[in-house]
A and B are shown apart, each in its own frame.
Chain A
Amino acid sequence: MKLTLKIWRQKNAKAKGEIVEYPLDGIEEDMSFLEMLDVLNEGLINKGDLPVSFDHDCREGICGSCSLYINGEAHGPDRGVPTCQLHMRMFKDGDTIYIEPFRAKAFPVIKDLVVDRSAFDRIQHAGGFVSINTSGKPTDANAIPIPKHDADRAFDAATCIGCGACVASCKNSSAMLFVSAKVSQYALLPQGKVEAADRVLNMVAQMDAEGFGNCTNTGACEVECPKGISLENIARMNREYLSASLKG
């Protein structure tokens, strides 16, 4: 495949970035998108140019490290996969592909296509956990009966890998799908119910403090989420939040 890549290049967080065009040949449709970028970077290094920086780690769709806004969509045109599992067969020979970093005030660009997503970590620190005493003889979690329906929904919410595609896709840069998945995965389980009120209040307060926008229910986040996190979680978070606020 022969491609024209238009990639956002930015030296550092303070530099003014720009789109730079790279012609690329010899790409096979079985390659992953990140392997295609590896080929580009090898060529750049061989020419003595700086390679394009981008986030990646496991390359098997579970770590949430990869990002990229590809041809106007977070993680590109495929559905239910992050960028590392996007394959070049989704593109045609001769295509021009725009590659930009995830954009949000709360996700500042560090370099090229790498953005700082530590805002998600701070939201998690604010309440995305259960406090369990592990000393002595803790009760085995498996000994607590949990309705199958609740367990399934909690697990679905827990599949969120925190990649930030929801923020990147949302026209408002809202993080509500991410936060609601984390709120839901605990709120649905008995172990998480104990701290549910504090959790939702603290996580939403941190989300607002980070400068994310507000959800207007366009549903773009759900469509672009590589793990198919449902909007049901946002409705649940809204209920949890209102209930916790009214309880005082």
Chain B
Amino acid sequence: MAKSALLKSSIAKKVAMALSGLFLILFLAQHFFINSTSVFSPDTFNSISHFMGNNPLVQFVIQPILIVGVIFHFVMGFVLDFKNRSARPINYIKNNGAANSSWASRNMIVSGAVVLAFILLHFYDFWVPEMVYKYVEVNPLNETRYFAELTHKFVSPVRTGIYCVSFLLLSLHLWHGFNSSFQSVGFNNKYSRSLHTLGYAFAIVVPFGFIFIALFHHFNH
């Protein structure tokens, strides 16, 4: 089969979407792990953040891959959604989607768009100042600044509220997306039930954990 035909095929796009999603799930897990240390030990949080912010492998290899992964996942998501909508030019007058599928599965584009908006805000809040601090202003290394920068962002109740709502939508996105990714890459066997449980647990623990961290810093600092 010609490579161009493979790249255009519906299944290849679906698999690419799934793999980029699984990659972002891994990123989310490590981000959650690092952020959770801020609740227990500001020093640990500072140390890990300093390592992540200054390690050349993380900064110049993993970070660009992550940014490409995020952009690919969102662009592909919107492209596929547009194509899928055009596959039904005339909609049903009465459609009972709730009879056969979950809200989360039918509205991945909605939850995904909210998560995208959140990521843009998150970049504005943390990533852009970090880049300016390190590479534009070229400030000296400061291993203890990260915890204060984190808690400072959660002083505002509006920003904390936006973060919490975004995490709720992230939870819905993961509720369908985690297990859907494995189905897309062809994983459906006797282990699927256990995997589904893991997926649902991840979709609850990680986003609600992030909500807890945001509220914890809002009310304690």
CB distance from A235 to the nearest CB of B (A): 3
Given contacts A218-B101, A219-B100, A219-B105, contact A71 B94 (CB under 8 A): yes
**Partner of B87 from A100, A211, A242 at Cβ < 8 Å:** A211
Cα A105 to Cα B180 in complex, Å, equals 25
**Partner of A208 from B8, B80, B85, B179 at Cβ < 8 Å:** B8
Taking CB atoms, residues of chain B closer than 8 Å to A241 are 9, 11
Cross-chain contact A214 with B84 (CB below 8 angstroms):
yes
For window 146-189 of chain B, which residues contact chain A by CB distance below 8 Å? 176, 179-180, 183-188
**Partner of A220 from B6, B11, B12, B100 at Cβ < 8 Å:** B100
Contact with B along A100-113 (1 / 0, CB 8 A): 10011110000000
Residue of A nearest to B185 (CB): A238
Total interface residues on B, CB under 8 Å, equals 43
Residue of B nearest to A213 (CB): B87
**Partner of B186 from A19, A172, A211, A238 at Cβ < 8 Å:** A238
Cα A154 to Cα B171 in complex, Å, equals 37
Q: Report if B97 contacts A (CB, 8 A).
A: yes
Cross-chain contact A105 with B94 (CB below 8 angstroms):
no
Cross-chain contact A245 with B92 (CB below 8 angstroms):
no
Cross-chain contact A216 with B84 (CB below 8 angstroms):
yes
Taking CB atoms, residues of chain A closer than 8 Å to B1 are 201, 244-245, 248
Cross-chain contact A173 with B88 (CB below 8 angstroms):
yes
Residue of B nearest to A74 (CB): B100
Given contacts A173-B88, A215-B14, A241-B11, contact A236 B99 (CB under 8 A): no
Q: Report if A171 contacts B (CB, 8 A).
A: yes
Residue of B nearest to A106 (CB): B87
Cα A236 to Cα B86 in complex, Å, equals 26
Q: Report if B197 contacts A (CB, 8 A).
A: no
Cross-chain contact B84 with A235 (CB below 8 angstroms):
no
Residue of B nearest to A225 (CB): B100
Cross-chain contact B9 with A208 (CB below 8 angstroms):
yes
Q: Report if A98 contacts B (CB, 8 A).
A: yes
Q: Report if B95 contacts A (CB, 8 A).
A: yes
Given contacts A172-B84, A172-B87, contact A245 B12 (CB under 8 A): yes
Cα A241 to Cα B84 in complex, Å, equals 20
Q: Report if B83 contacts A (CB, 8 A).
A: yes
**Partner of B101 from A71, A219, A238, A245 at Cβ < 8 Å:** A219
B contact set with A: CB distance below 8 Å: 1, 5-6, 8-15, 80, 83-97, 99-102, 105-106, 108, 176, 179-180, 183-188
Residue pairs across A and B with Cβ atoms less than 8 A apart, 18 shown, are A72-B97, A73-B96, A73-B100, A105-B87, A169-B100, A214-B14, A215-B10, A216-B108, A217-B105, A217-B184, A219-B105, A223-B100, A224-B100, A231-B188, A232-B188, A234-B188, A236-B186, A245-B6
Could you list 16 further interchain pairs (A-B, Cβ under 8 angstroms) beyond the known A98-B94, A217-B180? A71-B96, A171-B84, A174-B84, A205-B9, A207-B10, A212-B87, A213-B83, A216-B84, A217-B105, A219-B101, A223-B100, A231-B188, A235-B186, A235-B187, A236-B188, A241-B11
